[in-house]
Chains A and B, each alone.
Chain A
């Protein structure tokens, strides 16, 4: 007799299962079974368990009943198919949708992968006319924000009382009715900078309806200065768009255009195009950088001039004087130039730079950064115009946007009491408004504050307004919208998932407040599109499918510089004295990890090392070694070119930075390469919230809040600061405690002239490596036979010349490969989990060093040292040359990591995936077994459900959603490392075999597989592919003369090789790097090399140049 269980029974979890046995024990059938010699059959029982299974379980139950040994049996799992099959859905096959990530005045075109309805991986949209498929690291990490357990999940009214959605929407309608009555008097909108045609259209509609309503925009880090300056300079609204790929000579005036300026990922792509060297004689651009901080762009400079950030405009004026011949500008430029006293070396630098620019003419470009005042931007435009670069390297896009007020103007209105209803759309002004605006008080003066926010953050928590409504904001992956990308092309923002917590989009809130007919954001976007491209449904479908509207790029109209306008503005320029150690200059900058604070609760970004300082989970008070010496704070180790660490741990002195009455305290970090008497503070840290990742300024918090020092008048450069040391220290976590290569040829560099002389210079450096113990192994490598079975042989080449160190690959890898967050305390112990390590080395002069970056990941050695020492064969080679890890086999001896010369293996010391997020803060990670949560002992909980871990239920569910289903989530005690994105390789191979069917065509075509890092790299620095195919990109890259193997003398035959870096400094500028790069100089001194280090030594142990392709397949 069988019974049919009800359609949705509760799952048979451990405890319930055993309880049901207890109940069975009372039944007569059970007694009968006990008395019988052989049981008659399990079908007598009403439990849905087979007889065989039942007997087995019963025998165990007598021993273990009550202990809950659920691990002994496989749990019953149900398959829940659809009741009605949706069309075009195949379970197990991921779907991809085109969308875009709006960010300030621009957007990044994306293709997002969705697995069973969960967005899991973000990639750039390579179809888009202005994209190669690369993204920046923020875009890669933004998917984690979608599943942030601290995000706003409810509608709330005054005092944080949860409200119903309908209630909130009714309130919005009542505001709309009132505004319709009085024309919007007393209604103010404060939003972030956006660039959405629909958003602009809705604003225009509302402005027409409510003529009295006022509009304001605030961005704590604002790139709009570039538009503002171009508009002044050219006398009409234009946005400058820089074509670095057309440039031969680039001058950056404190512009971090390769990392933290707007559209940096595009700039990287364009810049990289000018740095690809295939052979001697290839052209290469030259990058001049004038800056006060040490930025990523500065680290990639060929010639770098370190001056205080406030002095950059004066340097710019000096250069402009040599180039701009227009008479009206001479006087104001001279005045600005005179304000900066140049040393002899600086004079020659400026003169040579100007000469180079002038020589290059229309092929040169000058850019100024967002930290610089308008005048610096105007000078840049004046130089570009004089060079004839406008129209070649600088395009001016026409631009038509509604005008908005500033935050300071809004604060004035609020203080005057003329604001009834303040609508704050996104942003977080209570946290990031300039300190002198006293925003918390000002905001409280509005009668009603309606706040659309992704988090219930400082702005929502501020309880000063009489009425405050909080509306949860939808993530962009949950929203309908549109946006213009950098080139002005319209791209759709389409949702991949319904709002997880019922969030609203900015468009919908605006439409409801405006009392518009259509409030559904999809309909609004659809209607905007109708206005842009007509009513054709097919065009709309193509728009959504492709992710952009072809031909909608902004028109680049001609424009000529208005010298009179520029002269007028330059004449009124404010000049600043050079800072001294008594009157320091504080420079605020956008954080590489937190942006302006918006990613503060994103654990992936918190754990991404800053490319220059290599700090994680913290910001610091940055200053040059000389400044620190003068002030007597901090400790610095000149030989290591890094801050002093004791046993690998950084305990840094806390200093107080004060400007007038305002002060902040933070740990000091000595940064070689910064201008003297400049203090750098990155924004976005020290949040006054108590979330799982972002925390306030206490011991376990993340960083300190630089906004407390900022004023509206001096948002980026504040003069007159003082720094005093305190006796307190703060533990900092840095992923690299040594900044020097100590003369080892790990990164190989040459100046362009040396490359021209010997293109194979990188291989020549092999000869000076320590001698290999044996050139030929005693035994034949078994892999040589084994690899004949493989259809493909995978290999990778990383071009150090185009890699700028932006970290997009690191985040892409984290997202693709389910890499957990370790937490600050664990990183301090060296337990970071990132598979890609971005090494940053300093060389040369401690005060003015050169920096070089190297992406270090598993090298997939053919003769892998890790494999020989694994006692359980958990790491082994496959026939296609991958060094693979079988996690289920690994027992965690860590021998492999010990034996890895590249130190690229990562060990799961703790169950990182099962920890609650808020335990990441450290300092102590409680033992999982001996911990009691909610009165329940961990051990007891573990017996009941070993899968759950310590996480709160909702957090567990949310974070599980971001995981890539094709990659195993590793547990404690397991070693892991880069797999060359094995899952992508296998999927491509399977797809090819499915396509082949009963035929032999199983070789995956070139270009089908892209590893996650390669895909995300905006520079295209990573090449991956099949070495068996002589025509594949990677095979060609291995033939590049710059190709070399790291630690070649170990004869590990890595499949990953590097293309050596070539610098292109101006030989006439004497800055001690003009003869050879700093790393090479160090190498020469350390190894006592006589003569030319790059000369090829014949008859040596190692590879003659002919062996340049030491990629592993020979």
Chain B
């Protein structure tokens, strides 16, 4: 009677197990890397209807974030400015520039400019801008160095893990409340010294301001 299974089949179970582990590991690793906001969101840079450069307006002209994003200290929502805000200056400066055609049109017709949303939390997340910027969390912590961007892109993952990182260790992020919109600001130019000062001052802020960052679901989900 000949063998139903040839000899090499003895190795098959081992091969299957090893194969399954490898494939499973690859899938897990793949999902962990590719399916998280770190990969899917960071770097997202849609083309906006108006080629607005934060770098020019903030770094060169020196506008404060709150000149345009007026509601950031009062509302959960940091507003994109109305066309009328742009026209405050651009009715004098570059008033015939073709690049601003869309803005002028919008201002004249009353139709909104359809900016493409970049930073977005899911609908079941209730992020609030005002409570962060009033309590020592700078714009730069979540949005990156917007002041250096010609065109805004998604700089940080804004995932739940990202939020928790800071909610677990707020002392590593808190800064004096008058430096919130100064995106270049550091305690010190020397990174090592900066980190030390951040830790020392942050801990003091946490204590003095009675910062008790919530890590409960209810902090963001309602």
Contacts and interface: CB of A to CB of B under 8 A. Distances in A.
Interface of A: 2-5, 7-9, 48-50, 52-53, 56, 74, 76-85, 90-93, 789-791, 876-879, 882, 884-889, 966-968, 979, 982-983, 986, 990, 993-994, 996-1002
B32 to A, nearest CB: 16
B109 interface: yes
B217 A1000 contact: no
A79 B73 contact: no
**Ordered nearest first, which 7 A-B pairs have the shortest CB separation?**
A878-B216, A92-B77, A1000-B210, A92-B75, A80-B112, A85-B82, A82-B82
B46 A888 contact: no
A876 B217 contact: yes
Interface string B36-75: 0000100111110111000000000000000000110111
Interface in B109-140: 109-117, 120, 122-124, 126, 128, 130-131, 134-136
Contacts of A996: 135, 209-210
Nearest to B217: A886
Given A50-B45, A85-B82, A994-B73, A7 B111 contact: yes
11 contacts: A74-B40, A78-B116, A79-B116, A81-B80, A81-B112, A85-B81, A882-B218, A884-B217, A998-B209, A1000-B208, A1000-B209
A82 B68 CA distance: 12
Interface string B208-222: 111010101111011
A83 B71 contact: no
Given A91-B77, A997-B134, 18 more contacts: A2-B51, A4-B50, A4-B51, A5-B49, A7-B49, A7-B113, A8-B114, A48-B116, A78-B117, A82-B83, A83-B111, A84-B107, A90-B70, A791-B210, A876-B216, A879-B214, A983-B222, A994-B73
A992 to B, nearest CB: 9
Given A52-B43, A878-B214, A997-B134, A83 B84 contact: yes
Nearest to B133: A994
B96 interface: no
A591 to B, nearest CB: 34
Contacts of A80: 112-115
Contact of A888 (B110, B111, B136, B221): B221
A790 to B, nearest CB: 8
A968 B76 CA distance: 15
A1000 B51 CA distance: 42
B176 interface: yes
A316 B169 CA distance: 73
Contact of A994 (B71, B79, B102, B130): B130
B85 interface: yes
Contacts of A979: 218, 222
B102 A967 contact: no
Contacts of B106: 7, 83
Contacts of B81: 81, 85
A85 B71 CA distance: 12
B116 A93 contact: no
A999 B135 CA distance: 9
Given A81-B82, A888-B122, A986-B218, A48 B46 contact: yes
A90 B75 contact: yes
Contact of A92 (B47, B76, B209): B76
**Residue of B51, B80, B107, B135 with most chain A CB atoms under a 10 A cut-off:** B135
A83 B107 contact: yes
B141 interface: no
Contacts of B177: 997-998
A967 B214 contact: no
A74 B46 CA distance: 13
B217 A889 contact: yes
Judged by DSSP, the binding face of A is loop
B105 interface: yes
Interface string B165-186: 0000000000011000000000
Contacts of B128: 990
A648 B4 CA distance: 62
Contacts, number: 184
Nearest to A986: B222
Size bracket of the B interface: 35 or more
A986 B79 contact: no
A85 B85 contact: yes
Contacts of B83: 81-84
A642 B114 CA distance: 60
B134 A994 contact: yes
A91 B75 CA distance: 7
A77 B117 contact: yes
A877 B217 CA distance: 8
Nearest to B35: A72
B119 to A, nearest CB: 10
Contacts of B114: 5, 7-9, 78-80
Nearest to B176: A998
Nearest to B48: A4
A63 to B, nearest CB: 15
Contacts of A966: 126, 222
A83 B108 CA distance: 8
B115 to A, nearest CB: 4
Nearest to A967: B222
Contact of A83 (B109, B117, B131, B208): B109
A650 to B, nearest CB: 36
A1063 B150 CA distance: 74
B221 A79 contact: no
Nearest to A970: B124
B103 to A, nearest CB: 9
Contacts of B217: 876, 878, 884-886, 889
A997 B177 CA distance: 8
Given A83-B84, A889-B217, A982 B110 contact: no
B124 A968 contact: yes
Contacts of A76: 46, 116-117
A968 B134 contact: no
A698 B115 CA distance: 52
A76 B115 CA distance: 10
Contacts of B120: 74, 77
Considering residues A52, A790, A986, which has the most beta carbons from chain B within 10 angstroms of its beta carbon?
A986
Nearest to A873: B217
Given A878-B217, A990-B128, A93 B74 contact: yes
A889 B122 CA distance: 13
B124 A879 contact: no
A884 B130 contact: no
A84 B71 CA distance: 15
Contacts of A91: 71, 75, 77, 79
Contact of A82 (B112, B135, B210): B112
Given A4-B49, A83-B84, A982-B222, A998 B124 contact: no
A53 B46 CA distance: 10
Contacts of A56: 40
Contacts of A9: 114
A131 B102 CA distance: 52
Contacts of A1002: 209-210, 212
Interface string B185-222: 00000000000000000000100111010101111011
Residue of B40, B106, B115, B131 ringed by the most chain A CB atoms within 10 A: B131
A970 to B, nearest CB: 10
A989 B158 CA distance: 23
B131 A990 contact: yes
Contacts of B84: 82-85
A617 B129 CA distance: 44
Contacts of A77: 116-117, 120
Contacts of B131: 990, 993-994
Contact of B218 (A92, A884, A888, A997): A884
Nearest to A980: B218
A885 B222 CA distance: 7
Nearest to A1002: B210
B45 A78 contact: no
Contacts of B208: 998-1000
A1026 B160 CA distance: 29
